[in-house]
Structure 1
């Protein structure tokens, strides 16, 4: 699986970064970037995203 980022709606707020238990998300160029190799598919970031820009693949 993994997390998909909708770059059109992501505003780089970093709520997902703060929520991720494996530190698999960083903000680059004001957008969330997910390292799906270290992501554990817990979906905490999906739930935390205020713009609904993250989804499970």
Structure 2
């Protein structure tokens, strides 16, 4: 699988997820700390994948 394509897909997915979570936190559907935890988890997964794909 091409790394460039997967990176673009991941970035688009992350962008959409950020928008959804921002709307949810803005309307207090999801607590703000859960959003921060979600971001940290995504960053961890991304660095973990990036380390092994390189």
TM-score (normalised: structure 1): 0.29
Greater percentage in strand? 1
Greater percentage in helix? 2
Compare relative contact order (CA 8 Å, sep 6+) and give the higher one, 1 or 2.
Answer: 1
